[in-house]
């Protein structure tokens, strides 16, 4: 090792291009410093990936950090800064003995920041503070974005190792940045001698690429082949020598002389990537010719050993043959090797060589974190048939940094249209996860207030995204001890409104009016009805029984102020309704049930960690889920059948809206199938994907799902440790849906085809107000109190058998061909008996047609699957079921009641479906919907 020590005498320090915990704790690093003249250490993501994944030295710390709820990225940072700090301490004597010339340890910012100036500066400052050692060097790439970051950090007094230098021109830019930073410090009367920097020229990679380019120029006509052959293996050393000439020129300049006089240290050139990649080349090819004063050679162990054994030292060798180096560059240009293009390619490839191991390292740490937390973590398993292209799609999303762009609010993931991008940008607040609603303390305080007041019932009035998370909360967590009963009223059927009123005690009831826009006709009609009922009951201040959940600027805010609402929760305007479960829309009802909100939010934070931008898309569970769903659609499997354990049975309804309304547009989309009884594998065609949401302690569907897997149907199993794990599932499904939308090339944050039904409804209500009637439309068949309506002018209707109602209905549902679905749209109040009848009807339709079946209550489905019905694929057969109201209820301030509103909504949607050419049949069940449902079931059974 004597030759290594001799390097110091000739002005060159050698550093080690490797670091791991075993090396530090075994004393090997200290021995190299003490006995072999080692004067510094460099690290990079590839080095740490090898160290952390290669043994068990880090296991204990990983376990401690995982238990402490640290993310994979935080674990990585803690592991790395621990090693860097310890290495700095080992090299501290060198730092002090050399007067801060040597003794440095390098730590790199995330390689993903190569094009992010601000991100590089922020991370460098944070790492500098975390390590808190004066002999730390922060590595910043010499990219166009890196150079201003380098200057800013050096001005701050942070030591910088400029990495990934391949170009002499770029090196000069880096050197100028160093001079500017020192001049700025001098202008501010800051010390110069405490700032250290090295500029790292990467060598072997230059020869690898240039040699590859030269091979294409060998074998042609003279004289080019011989000139090309002579240039093999020449480019890297020539680059280093020319860079050193630039260094000497800068050192001789007046600017440097002034700075040096004020105590500045030279920015040394560091030779990196010095292990030879070509076995035909001398193993010390990048050491011997580059010995020189004020330089550093950072070598891996194999190069150190080779130099110690074979090396010869020529003093100031780096200054030799400068003219030959310049001639090499001229000759390379002459044979067609453009060195400017070479260096541009090298910096891109060099960055990727660090990105890939960094991503693998983070992915590996996430797997180990999940293993530590396996008893409390949500598990995702993908079984059965896999759609084609999954691996390629995930890798493409990783290369495009999909998740980072999603969380940064980049609308170009879904559209290239500027106006569409602008609307998308205003709908991405949900990516803040548990931070999407800053009103969490107010939610907790208000829940305590409700308990203290002894309220017996809380009724949420809302539709779609404003009500479904509350429905999930009420059904999943129930009524906690000494808690009010939570009811969700998202129905305009007068029977449903009356039953809700009969169930509560008005004086002890709180109403939550949930509407982002503050104009939702169903919600505002229900609000006015109950406000009026409270006033009629003698309540002195009816407004005290109401809480508003709405966006800033909505009419509901004015209503709340004028009528003295008890509380107003301003919800984030940049979070769409169906993405709002982790805002007050979901968190307030959940809190009121008495559920463990801390556990639920902990689950959401765990999901944020598992699905964060730091996790490569190839290992991100939400992105993987979204990719599978999106690619299955492309493969013809667009029906996602969702089944759930009894304890979370209502959660699929929330997913149903999210998937249908987000993806069902532009003639494509995911068709969620909720509430359909699972059948045997042979029941299903090749258009299905199955999702099983399973509570860990409930195994109700396992056998049937295993049979589906055995039959090679795709099954996505998600196991939740507890009900509170839904907090994480809310966020996972939101990310998955956004991902699927990107693959389907649709905007998952709008609902363009919902408007027509609303406009139709408004027009019909205006007619009702004017004439107390709706447009008359003769039924095509009337039988047994049932009436059937359809537009016979549409081509698909021409072949239907109108000889009987049974023939019409059965013939209509049989229009559903391979890969299509039958949607039942029910405009009647929900009862247990009707739910049983609907399940039976769906099963019989499936048996008759082989088609998937869906069911939605009107008007709820208008805010959920209604978008899919009209904007998604033309594969739906829509059986709309209406009923006549035995008794109407008035809507204060309107010239119509709830029955008229409900019928107008049904007729409005019927018109919207018909206008798009959809296959839709309306059957009016008359005054006795229970009997009508049984009759339809008998039709399907053939009785």
Q: Tell me if 187 sits within 8 A of 217, measured CB to CB.
A: no
- The backbone torsions φ and ψ at residue 819, rounded to the nearest 5 degrees and listed phi first, read 80, 10
Is 850:844 a contact under the CB 8 Å cutoff?
no
How many Cβ atoms from other residues are within 10 Å of residue 41's Cβ?
Answer: 29
- Closest to 645 in 3D by CA, of 857, 476, 864: 476
Q: What separation in angstroms does the CA of 332 have from each of 338, 349, 581? A: 7, 21, 61
Angle at 368 between CA 365 and CA 369, to 5 degrees: 85
Q: In what order do the strands lie in the sheet with 781-783?
A: 781-783, 786-789, 919-924, 876-882, 821-827, 852-857
Which of these is catalytic: 31, 50, 139, 758? 139
Pairing of strands 546-551, 457-461: unpaired
CA-nearest of 900, 894, 856 to 878 is 856
Give the chain's radius of gyration (CA, Å).
35
Measured over the CA atoms of residue 807, residue 880, residue 928 and residue 941, the dihedral's sign is positive
3-state secondary structure of 17: coil
CB 609 within 8 A of CB 379: no
Report DSSP state, residue 257: H
Residue 323 neighbours by CB distance under 10 Å = 9
φ, ψ at 872 (rounded to 5°): -85, -160
β-pairing, 12-16 with 567-571? unpaired
Within a 10 A sphere around the Cβ of 540, how many other Cβ atoms? Answer: 7
In contact, 765 and 900? CB cutoff 8 Å: yes
| Phi, psi (degrees; rounded to nearest 5) at 558 | -65, -40
| Rounded CA separation 644/646 (Å) | 6
Give the other-Cβ count within 10 Å of 324's Cβ. Answer: 12
In the residue annotation, 31 being an active-site residue is answered as: no
Contact criterion met (CB below 8 Å) for 834 and 930: yes
Residues whose CB is less than 8 angstroms from the CB of residue 270 and which lie 6 or more positions away in sequence, other chains included: 15, 161, 198, 199, 200, 201, 295, 296, 297, 298
d(CA 236, CA 639) in angstroms, rounded, equals: 57
DSSP states of 388-412 as a string? TTHHHHHHHHHHTTHHHHHHTT-GG
Distance CA 821, CA 876 (A): 5
> To 10 degrees, the CA torsion angle through 331, 332, 335, 341?
-150
DSSP string computed for 402-457: HHHHHHTT-GGGT---HHHHHHHHTTBGGGGGGGS-TTHHHHHHHHHHHHHTT--E
Q: Would you say 388 and 79 are in contact if contact means Cβ atoms under 8 Å apart?
A: no
**Phi, psi dihedrals of residue 240, rounded to the nearest 5°:** -65, -45
Unique residue bearing structure tokens 């803040």:
432
Interior angle at CA 652, CA 651 and CA 657, nearest 5: 105
Distance (Å, whole) CA 103 – CA 94: 5
Contacts of 777 (CB under 8 A, 6+ apart): 789
Q: Which residues are catalytic?
A: 139
């Amino acid at each position: 090792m004597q030759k290594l020590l001799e390097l110091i005498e000739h002005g060159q320090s050698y550093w080690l291009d490797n670091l791991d915990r075993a090396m530090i704790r075994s004393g090997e690093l200290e021995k190299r410093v003490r006995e072999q003249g080692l004067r510094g250490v460099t690290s990079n993501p590839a080095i740490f990936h090898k160290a952390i994944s290669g043994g068990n030295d880090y296991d204990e710390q990983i376990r401690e950090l995982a238990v402490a709820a640290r993310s994979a990225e935080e674990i990585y940072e803690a592991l790395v800064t621990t090693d860097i700090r310890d290495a700095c301490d080992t090299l501290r004597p060198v730092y002090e003995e050399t007067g801060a010339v040597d003794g440095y340890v390098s730590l790199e910012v995330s390689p993903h920041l190569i094009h992010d100036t601000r991100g590089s500066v922020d991370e460098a400052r944070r790492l500098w503070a975390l390590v808190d050692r004066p002999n730390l060097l922060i590595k910043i790439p010499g990219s166009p974005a890196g150079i201003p970051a380098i200057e800013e950090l050096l001005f701050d007094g942070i030591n910088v190792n400029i990495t990934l230098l391949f170009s002499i021109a770029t090196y000069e830019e880096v050197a100028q940045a160093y001079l500017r930073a020192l001049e700025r410090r001098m202008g501010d009367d800051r010390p110069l001698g405490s700032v250290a920097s090295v500029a790292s020229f990467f060598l072997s990679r230059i020869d690898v690429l240039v040699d590859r380019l030269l091979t294409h120029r060998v074998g042609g006509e003279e004289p080019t082949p011989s000139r090309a052959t002579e240039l093999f293996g020449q480019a890297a050393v020539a680059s280093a020598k020319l860079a050193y000439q630039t260094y000497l020129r800068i050192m001789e300049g007046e600017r440097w002389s002034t700075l040096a006089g004020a105590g500045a240290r030279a920015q040394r050139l560091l030779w990196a990537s010095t292990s030879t990649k070509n076995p035909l080349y001398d193993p010390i090819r990048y050491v011997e010719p580059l010995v020189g004063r004020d330089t550093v050679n950072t070598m891996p162990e194999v190069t150190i050993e080779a130099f110690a054994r074979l090396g010869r030292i020529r003093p100031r060798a780096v200054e030799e043959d400068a003219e030959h180096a310049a001639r090499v560059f001229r000759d390379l240009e002459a044979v067609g090797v453009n060195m400017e293009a070479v260096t541009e390619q090298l910096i891109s490839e060099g960055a990727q060589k660090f990105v890939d191991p960094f991503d693998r390292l983070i992915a590996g740490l996430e797997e180990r974190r999940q293993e530590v937390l396996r008893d409390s973590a949500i598990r995702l398993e993908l079984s059965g048939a896999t759609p084609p292209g999954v691996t390629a799609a995930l890798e493409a999303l990783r290369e495009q940094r999909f998740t980072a762009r999603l969380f940064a609010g980049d609308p170009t993931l879904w559209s290239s249209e500027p106006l569409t991008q602008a609307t998308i940008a205003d709908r991405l607040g949900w990516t803040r996860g548990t931070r999407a609603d800053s009103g969490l303390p107010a939610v907790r305080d208000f829940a305590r207030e409700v308990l203290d007041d002894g309220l017996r019932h809380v009724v949420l009035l809302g539709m779609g995204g404003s009500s479904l998370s509350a429905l999930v909360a009420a059904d999943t967590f129930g009524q906690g001890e000494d808690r009010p009963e939570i009811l969700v009223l998202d129905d305009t059927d007068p029977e449903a409104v009356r039953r809700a009123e009969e169930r509560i005690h008005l004086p002890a009831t709180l109403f939550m009016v949930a509407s982002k826009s503050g104009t939702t006709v169903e919600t505002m009609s229900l609000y006015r009805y109950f406000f009026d009922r409270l006033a009629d009951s003698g309540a002195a201040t009816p407004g005290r029984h109401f809480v508003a959940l709405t966006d800033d600027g909505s009419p509901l805010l004015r209503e709340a102020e004028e009528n003295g609402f008890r509380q107003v929760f301003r919800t984030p305007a940049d979070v769409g309704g169906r993405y709002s479960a982790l805002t007050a829309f979901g968190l307030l009802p959940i809190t009121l049930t008495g559920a463990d909100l801390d556990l639920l939010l902990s689950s959401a934070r765990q999901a944020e960690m598992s699905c964060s931008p730091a996790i490569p898309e190839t290992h991100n569970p939400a992105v993987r889920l979204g990719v599978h769903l999106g690619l299955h659609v492309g493969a013809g499997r667009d029906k996602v059948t969702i089944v759930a354990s009894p304890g979370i049975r209502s959660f699929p309804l929330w997913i149903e809206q999210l998937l249908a309304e987000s993806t069902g547009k532009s003639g494509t989309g995911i068709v969620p199938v909720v509430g359909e009884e699972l059948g045997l594998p042979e029941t299903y065609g090749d258009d299905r994907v199955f999702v099983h949401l399973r509570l860990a302690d409930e195994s109700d569907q396992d056998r049937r799902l295993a049979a589906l897997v055995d039959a090679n149907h795709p099954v996505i199993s998600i196991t939740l440790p507890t009900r509170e794990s839904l907090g994480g599932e809310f966020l996972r499904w939101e990310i998955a849906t956004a991902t699927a939308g990107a693959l389907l090339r649709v905007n998952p944050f709008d609902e363009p085809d919902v408007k027509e039904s609303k406009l139709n409804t408004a027009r019909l209500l205006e007619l009702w107000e004017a004439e107390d009637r709706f447009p008359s439309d003769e039924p095509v068949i009337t039988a047994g109190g049932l009436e059937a309506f359809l537009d016979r002018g549409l081509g698909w209707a021409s072949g239907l058998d109108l000889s009987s109602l049974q023939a019409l209905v059965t013939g209509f549902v049989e229009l559903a061909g391979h890969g299509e679905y039958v949607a039942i749209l029910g405009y009647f109040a929900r009862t247990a008996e009707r739910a049983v009848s609907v399940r039976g009807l769906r099963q019989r339709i499936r048996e008759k047609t082989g088609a998937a079946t869906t069911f939605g209550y009107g008007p709820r489905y208008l805010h959920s699957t209604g978008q899919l019905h009209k904007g998604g694929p033309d594969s739906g057969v829509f059986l709309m079921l209406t009923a006549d109201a035995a008794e109407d209820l008035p809507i204060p301030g309107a010239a119509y009641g709830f029955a008229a509103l409900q019928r107008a909504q049904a007729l409005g949607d019927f018109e919207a479906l018909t206008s798009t050419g959809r296959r839709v049949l309306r059957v009016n069940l008359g005054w006795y919907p229970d009997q009508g449902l049984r009759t339809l079931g008998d039709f399907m059974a053939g009785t």
